[in-house]
Amino acid sequence: MDAPLNHIFFPISFNELFSTWDHFPEAVPYAGGTDLIGRQGKNIINLPKVILCLDKLAELHRVTRTEQYLEIGSMVNLNTLIRLGKISRSAETGNGRKDFLAAEKTPAIVPKILSTCLENIAGIQLRNTATIGGNICSASYLYDLAAPFTALDAQYELRSANTSRWVSALWFHSSGERVLESQELLTRVRLPLYQWDYSIYKKFRNDDLFSNEILIFLAKAQKNILTDIKVVYKANTILRNKNGEDILNGKILPLSRKMALDFLQNWQDFLGNRSDITEFSKNAIISNIEENVFILSE
């Protein structure tokens, strides 16, 4: 028996894309294809019956910078962004406490935490093909980029035939339901150009190659006042503890020992009730937060 025919469309404009999608509501956007087909490991791969290949939509390949934001098209591949990060890296300061307390305020184009995350995703060949949009929109896994984009307060632009809306990465990844509506496309990621003086990225590999645990610790100071701190943890879900952040925001550096311990206790309480996180992961999160918060304390 003949194999059923697949339809593959290469729209060159959003009009064309959305009108094709209207005709074939079951059509699936195809970016780099590494999530759609990359894990099949068979000689004959299963493709969605109708494919909307996003490659010819020039707008989705663009990276632009305004005074306040870096905007990344959803079809930009992971290595392109790594390369851009390397160009800007020389302008950024280091991440030890010494640097943190005396940091220059030079906004790097690609935040270091994002570059580090990208460099730790799979191998170079996969990163040449896999796109930002595919990593964010996978329905199978909560992939790694959810962590830095949440920590960096990224916004995602979602477009359909008649609407366009911006949603926060935090909401997109933690709302507990699929935020992308049917026939809706992620078009751009908008990142505020904001300099973090202290940034730590930790990836814990676990048994599932595709579902990594990540901890991000970011802090910013102005004249030795801690003006912003963010701790984000990702596994199959995204966690951010805003009450904990409020304990330290606005405090003088170095932090007192007591303040650091209060922060730690707050995280312990926050994690204590979560049945979706293993004891092993809770211990790993706490010991990493402990290490970082004590670097900022006396």
Measuring CA to CA, which residue among 207, 208, 206, 226 is closest to residue 218? 226
- Using the minimum distance from each CB to ligand FAD, give the nearer residue, 117 or 296: 117
Measuring CA to CA, which residue among 113, 289, 122, 294 is closest to residue 201? 113
Q: How many residues of this chain interact with ligand FAD, rule: CB under 6 A?
A: 33
In the DSSP assignment, the letter for residue 110 is S
Site for ligand FAD in 202-241 (CB under 6 A): 209-210, 212
- Using the minimum distance from each CB to ligand FAD, give the nearer residue, 143 or 267: 143
- The distance of closest approach from Cβ of residue 107 to ligand FAD in the complex, given in angstroms and rounded to an integer, is 25
- Using the minimum distance from each CB to ligand FAD, give the nearer residue, 91 or 209: 209
Give the C-alpha separation, 133 to 127, whole Å: 13
Give yes or no for a contact between 70 and 193, defined as CB atoms under 8 angstroms apart: yes
Instruction: Confirm or reject binding of residue 193 to ligand FAD (CB under 6 A).
Output: no
Q: Which range, of 19-27, 80-88, 99-107, 136-144, touches ligand FAD by CB under 6 A?
A: 136-144
* 216: Cβ contacts below 8 Å, ≥ 6 apart: 113, 147, 148, 151, 199, 200, 201, 202, 230, 231, 232, 233
- The distance of closest approach from Cβ of residue 268 to ligand FAD in the complex, given in angstroms and rounded to an integer, is 28
Q: What angle do CA 79, 128, 41 make, to 5 degrees?
A: 135
* 81: Cβ contacts below 8 Å, ≥ 6 apart: 63, 72, 110, 114, 115, 118, 132
Across the beta sheet with 28-30, the strand order is 7-9, 50-53, 28-30
- Using the minimum distance from each CB to ligand FAD, give the nearer residue, 92 or 144: 144
Among 63, 101, 126, 261, contact with ligand FAD (rule: CB under 6 A) = 126
Measuring CA to CA, which residue among 187, 181, 250 is closest to residue 221? 250
- Using the minimum distance from each CB to ligand FAD, give the nearer residue, 145 or 295: 145
- The distance of closest approach from Cβ of residue 169 to ligand FAD in the complex, given in angstroms and rounded to an integer, is 14
Instruction: Confirm or reject binding of residue 121 to ligand FAD (CB under 6 A).
Output: yes
Measuring CA to CA, which residue among 54, 55, 109 is closest to residue 82? 109
Instruction: Confirm or reject binding of residue 130 to ligand FAD (CB under 6 A).
Output: yes
Among 93, 135, 174, 292, contact with ligand FAD (rule: CB under 6 A) = 135
Site for ligand FAD in 14-73 (CB under 6 A): 28-36, 38-39, 54
Instruction: Confirm or reject binding of residue 151 to ligand FAD (CB under 6 A).
Output: no
Q: State CA 167 to chain mean position distance.
A: 14
Angle between helices 112-119 and 78-89 (to 10 degrees): 140
Instruction: Confirm or reject binding of residue 161 to ligand FAD (CB under 6 A).
Output: no
- Using the minimum distance from each CB to ligand FAD, give the nearer residue, 80 or 138: 138
- Using the minimum distance from each CB to ligand FAD, give the nearer residue, 21 or 196: 21
- The binding site for ligand FAD (CB under 6 A) comprises 28-36, 38-39, 54, 74, 121-122, 126, 129-131, 133-135, 137-139, 143-144, 180, 185-186, 209-210, 212
